[in-house]
Amino acid sequence: MITIKEIARQLDMSTTTVSNVIHGKTKEVSQETIERVRAYLDKVGYVPNLAAQNLAANQSRIIGVVIKTRKDRYMNILSEPFVSRILGVIEQEIREAGYFMMLYISEDMMDILNKVAAWNTDGLLLFWMVDDDALRVYKRYRKPVVCVDTYISREVIHQFEHSFVNIGLEDEKGTYDAVSYLLKLGHQRIAFLSDDRSGVNRERYRGFCRALDEAGKEHGEEDYFELNSGKDGIYESMAQLAKRAAGYDAVLCCSDVYACIFTKALERAGLGVPTDISVMGFDDTIPGAISRPAITTVHQDIEKKGELAIGTLLRMIQGESFENDQIILKTSIIERESTCKR
């Protein structure tokens, strides 16, 4: 790889001049010089050494995308439809802005933060942060950070010295609307199926409860179907839950994939969807749309979420400052074939 120094030698000028032309700082460079340099540059196909640039300019043009995973839950988190879809748009936005994406996936936030520091990452996109991890990040990382789908407590937010920016979703309202919709369809007993009740899923569960409360329907712990989502456990777990579903009119799942799998489990248990029981999903991802019956779901605009997240982060990197604030995207019900009137 040819270096600036070598180019300067060949052209018999200083590295400063070459560097200036490369970066378009040409106010004080003669037209002739500019052209000589430019011509030579693309003759030899000059490519900057980004490590050197990083070192000298103290910026990496890397944007870190942080996903704290859980081995016991996800064996391959990148293949979750929501994740792969939003990552696709994020990657594209980062690339088009002239930055590079580096993925940090780990169970250990400290490990992630060390790597982020080692690469001198220019900004961070954090998925699904929880209180203590968020705190760790804000303690150790002094550059722009944008959170996605993050619920952290007021107290923790106040501990942040700089701004907390989150791109989120009406999770609570999403399930509230879903349950209201099911109620309107004439369903009486409704269950909520999820693999945990923290973060996003806690909010979704809250919306479920509120809708039932407001409608004056009794409900309790037994209406929460907790999925054991360990690698293989999931199908057995689904089969178990399908048995419990016998007395219900509808089950609202926290994701479309779960809705698809649960639909199969129900039918295997002799319950037709939607004839015997309605099933709803959440997120509006591909699997729900192409399965049969197509899954009625709570839609969210994943592309927009990704664009907003990166857009905001990029603006922060470019120096714009944000107060503590959030952008909360809307949800809407997409009616398909897995639900019907009772």
Partner DNA sequence: TTGAAAGCGCTAACAA
Partner DNA sequence: TTGTTAGCGCTTTCAA
Region from 7-15, 97-105, 182-190, 199-207 binding DNA, contact rule CB under 7 A: 7-15
Neighbour count for residue 134 (Cβ, 10 Å): 24
| Range list of β-strands (E), 14-128 | 62-68, 100-106, 123-127
Query: Does residue number 114 form part of the binding site for DNA (CB under 7 A)?
Result: no
Cis peptide before 274 (omega within 30 of 0): yes
For the CA atoms of 260, 261, 263, 264, the dihedral, rounded to the nearest 10 degrees, stands at: 120
| Residue 312 beta carbon to a second copy: minimum distance, rounded to whole angstroms | 20
Out of a second copy, DNA, none, what residue 286 binds, judged by CB under 5 to 8 A for its kind, is a second copy
Out of DNA, a second copy, none, what residue 261 binds, judged by CB under 5 to 8 A for its kind, is a second copy
Collect all residues with Cβ–Cβ distance below 8 Å to 77 and sequence separation of at least 6: 67, 69, 83, 105
Query: Does residue number 332 form part of the binding site for DNA (CB under 7 A)?
Result: no
Closest CA to 316 of 124, 168, 175, 96: 124
Q: How big is the chain, counted in residues?
A: 342
204/336 with CB nearer a second copy: 336
The residue within the footprint of a second copy, chosen from 13, 89, 185, 327 (CB under 8 A), is 89
31/79 with CB nearer DNA: 31
Region from 26-34, 63-71, 281-289, 324-332 binding DNA, contact rule CB under 7 A: 26-34
Q: What are phi and psi of 258, to 5 degrees?
A: -60, -40
Closest CA to 105 of 97, 95, 94, 116: 116
The token duo for 113 is 């933060």
39/246 with CB nearer DNA: 39
Q: How far apart are CA 136 and CA 150, in angstroms?
A: 15
Out of DNA, a second copy, none, what residue 29 binds, judged by CB under 5 to 8 A for its kind, is DNA
32/222 with CB nearer DNA: 32
Classified as helix, coil or strand, 267 is helix
The token duo for 23 is 């970066």
Neighbour count for residue 89 (Cβ, 10 Å): 17
Q: Going residue by residue from 170 to 199, which x/- string records binding to a second copy, judged by CB under 8 A?
A: ------------------------------
Q: How far is CA 32 from the centre of its chain?
A: 49
Classified as helix, coil or strand, 176 is helix
The residue within the footprint of DNA, chosen from 9, 10, 30, 39 (CB under 7 A), is 30
Q: Going residue by residue from 42 to 81, which x/- string records binding to a second copy, judged by CB under 8 A?
A: -----xxxxxx-xx----x---------------xxxx-x
| Residue 233 beta carbon to DNA: minimum distance, rounded to whole angstroms | 43
123, 144 Cβ separation under 8 angstroms: yes
Number of residues that bind DNA (CB under 7 A): 28
Out of a second copy, DNA, none, what residue 19 binds, judged by CB under 5 to 8 A for its kind, is DNA
Alpha helices in 45-162 (DSSP H): 50-57, 81-96, 109-118, 131-140, 154-159
Query: Does residue number 119 form part of the binding site for DNA (CB under 7 A)?
Result: no
Closest CA to 279 of 211, 222, 270, 265: 265
Residues 212-271 that bind a second copy (CB under 8 A): 257, 260-261, 263-264, 267
Binding residues for DNA, per CB under 7 A? 1, 3-5, 12-17, 19-20, 22-23, 27-30, 32-33, 48-49, 52-53, 55-58
Which spans of this chain sit near a second copy (rule: CB under 8 A)? 1, 47-52, 54-55, 60, 76-79, 81, 83-85, 87-89, 91-92, 95, 100-103, 105-106, 114-115, 117-120, 257, 260-261, 263-264, 267, 286-287, 290-294
